[in-house]
Chain A
């Protein structure tokens, strides 16, 4: 077994540190990816230190200061129709959006990759059945699938996360399966097999690490789209419920004031735009590094 490791898995294990380091060095050179990363770090920090950073209690209502316009000191971004500070609500909203983004992506990532790995590795009827189901799921536009799942489960934030995770799962399964099929044909797999390395070990210790690149790209971009989708669900009343300071919900509750209080609608949207932009920039950058073929 040990000499076999020379073929690839050992290489991967030994060089993995240097490979990741090398990739990180390449990524560091990519200015827009780094810009994206800084945006993400900024929002993550804001989310973690929300109680410290936010000037006001995001839930505190005050009828005297309803709909204060943009830049009414000390309410920098103004207040909403309940007199709540918009900036503070946006800061707390970062917690919700990032958590939804990461959890829903983790759901699709873990289950999708697992399905893809199993079906690519074993092939045969397992593959046929799971790919058939994946095809059927892909026959729904995923926005619709998300909405339907959450509508059936009931409109809560947790269900929104689950729905987004499930609806995006087929993409991960497909990508994983394709990489596994390519990897399975590699020589080291044949060699390890002939030496009687167990399937599970082969699958998780040798093949999986080599299939991660495209999945990482998909997941990074996926966090961004999950944040948009969860905001959309909340906007439709199918996600977070009032008075949660969720960005989509903030936009929804301000819809009736578009003519009188534009700032209530505008700023939460800008927050969404920037977080998602951050993930998209980073995701594009990672893809350029991990898959030079796609680089132009």
Chain B
């Protein structure tokens, strides 16, 4: 077990190193000079060269690479060309919004997906099974950005039930503490007795979370169903039934715990994907997270920001995958006890 953890963590470092290196060379070798981007196409040659020197871009590539590595290790991604702010600060201020959105989407997707998958598997070939599996197939076939817009058309424009975007109604003035607005809303409620901030945060969360969560929900439902069907065929389920275990206990205790093993891996992978998938959802719902920020950085070819954003998101992705692998080994007694 410990050996496994050590080995897995040991694999992490070269991967991260590879990610950082790949990002550097992708940007360094890409067409277009950052200095030109900053100064505009008509800037004169001296000004461009001067700026190149300032940015260290006049040095040979391997030197640039070493400098870059040293900085990245200290989480220094330089300053945004567009805003002049430190990239890491910009990321820090936007990250909670993305994490909050991703967490809520994932809770929605996991709870609903597992539930639908289990019910589908136990009521196999029933109408319910067909409807939910066809629904899941629709879910994975849908473009997320389109779904978001359709939800806005239905729930914001026509029914006028939910806001079209943002994280919080502008009439609420409050000072964020954790930057997780739903949490902040709760804190605000306990302090002042005013539930408005919390409710506003929740209503703003619903549509983006549903949009972002739909694909993972569909995938989780499908995986849970097939994993559950596989488990229900096993002898130990027959054993559980043969000793008279009540059926609901057979399903939700003895079968589900086995069936969840592969599902957990998928949930982790999807959670990592959400961080990147947030680019579309955040753009549609004007959600001030890292996805929308990265999108604007790409639009304006803000190289330091792009570098920083990709490295941070990919690192999270890698860390989440690691976490899931470790979690898997903790839940699975076969690995844990070895």
Chain A interface (Cβ < 8 Å from any Cβ of B): 132-133, 135-137, 139-144, 147-149, 151-154, 224, 228, 231-232, 235-238, 248, 251-252, 255, 258-259, 262, 265-266, 268-269, 272-274, 276-277, 280-281, 284, 294, 296
Q: Is the CB of A141 within 8 A of B276?
A: yes
B-side contacts of A255, CB under 8 Å: 149, 284
Residue B88 at the chain A interface, CB threshold 8 Å: no
A-side contacts of B299, CB under 8 Å: 237
CA distance A132 to B277 in the complex (A): 25
Contacts A132-B14, A251-B145, A272-B143; is A140 near B150 (CB within 8 Å)?
A: no
Residue B152 at the chain A interface, CB threshold 8 Å: yes
B-side contacts of A135, CB under 8 Å: 15, 18
Closest beta carbon of chain B to A294's beta carbon, Å: 7
Closest beta carbon of chain B to A240's beta carbon, Å: 14
Q: Is the CB of B19 within 8 A of A139?
A: yes
Q: Which of B141, B150, B229, B313 contacts A141 (CB 8 A)?
A: B313
Contacts A141-B272, A258-B153; is A136 near B22 (CB within 8 Å)?
A: yes
Q: Is the CB of A272 within 8 A of B146?
A: yes
Q: Is the CB of A296 within 8 A of B230?
A: yes
B-side contacts of A251, CB under 8 Å: 143, 145-146, 149
Instruction: Tell me which of B24-32, B33-41, B55-63, B256-264 binds A.
Output: B24-32
Q: Is the CB of A296 within 8 A of B229?
A: yes
Q: Which of A152, A258, A276 contacts B27 (CB 8 A)?
A: A152
Contacts A258-B152, A277-B137; is A141 near B273 (CB within 8 Å)?
A: yes
Q: Which of B16, B141, B153, B279 contacts A266 (CB 8 A)?
A: B153
Ordered by A's residue number, 22 sampled pairs between the chains whose C-beta atoms are within 8 Å are A135-B18, A136-B15, A136-B22, A139-B19, A141-B276, A144-B276, A147-B298, A148-B306, A152-B27, A152-B30, A153-B31, A228-B141, A235-B280, A236-B279, A236-B295, A258-B153, A265-B150, A272-B146, A273-B142, A276-B141, A280-B141, A296-B229
Number of A-B residue pairs having CB atoms within 8 Å of each other in the complex: 133
1/0 per residue, CB under 8 A from A, across B270-287: the answer is 001101110110011000
Q: Is the CB of A136 within 8 A of B143?
A: no
Residue B138 at the chain A interface, CB threshold 8 Å: yes
Across the interface, name the chain A residue whose C-beta is closest to B12. A139
Q: Which of A141, A259, A265 contacts B146 (CB 8 A)?
A: A265
Contact residues, B282-334 vs A (CB, 8 A)? 283-284, 295, 298-299, 301, 306, 310, 313-314, 317-318
Q: Is the CB of B18 within 8 A of A281?
A: no
Closest beta carbon of chain A to B293's beta carbon, Å: 13
Contacts A237-B299, A269-B146; is A139 near B280 (CB within 8 Å)?
A: no
Q: Is the CB of A141 within 8 A of B298?
A: no
Residue B250 at the chain A interface, CB threshold 8 Å: no
CA distance A268 to B145 in the complex (A): 12
Contacts A152-B26, A265-B149, A277-B137; is A232 near B306 (CB within 8 Å)?
A: no
Across the interface, name the chain A residue whose C-beta is closest to B309. A144
Contacts A139-B317, A140-B314; is A269 near B150 (CB within 8 Å)?
A: yes
Closest beta carbon of chain A to B142's beta carbon, Å: 6
Across the interface, name the chain B residue whose C-beta is closest to A266. B150
B-side contacts of A276, CB under 8 Å: 141-143
Q: Is the CB of A232 within 8 A of B19?
A: no
Closest beta carbon of chain A to B138's beta carbon, Å: 7
CA distance A238 to B301 in the complex (A): 12
CA distance A251 to B280 in the complex (A): 13
A-side contacts of B153, CB under 8 Å: 258-259, 262, 265-266
Across the interface, name the chain B residue whose C-beta is closest to A238. B298
CA distance A258 to B146 in the complex (A): 11
B-side contacts of A152, CB under 8 Å: 26-27, 30-31
Contacts A136-B18, A269-B150; is A143 near B143 (CB within 8 Å)?
A: no
Closest beta carbon of chain B to A267's beta carbon, Å: 10
Contact residues, B188-217 vs A (CB, 8 A)? none
Contact residues, B218-241 vs A (CB, 8 A)? 225-226, 229-230
B-side contacts of A277, CB under 8 Å: 137-138, 141
Across the interface, name the chain B residue whose C-beta is closest to A272. B143
Which of A143, A238, A276 is most buried by chain B, counting CB atoms within 10 A of its CB? A143
Residue B140 at the chain A interface, CB threshold 8 Å: yes
CA distance A132 to B313 in the complex (A): 20
Across the interface, name the chain B residue whose C-beta is closest to A150. B298
Residue B144 at the chain A interface, CB threshold 8 Å: yes
A-side contacts of B279, CB under 8 Å: 143-144, 147, 236
Closest beta carbon of chain A to B225's beta carbon, Å: 8
A-side contacts of B27, CB under 8 Å: 152
Across the interface, name the chain A residue whose C-beta is closest to B121. A296
Closest beta carbon of chain B to A182's beta carbon, Å: 20
Q: Which of A139, A141, A153 contacts B18 (CB 8 A)?
A: A139
CA distance A274 to B141 in the complex (A): 8
CA distance A272 to B149 in the complex (A): 14
Q: Is the CB of B317 within 8 A of A141?
A: yes
Across the interface, name the chain B residue whose C-beta is closest to A146. B276
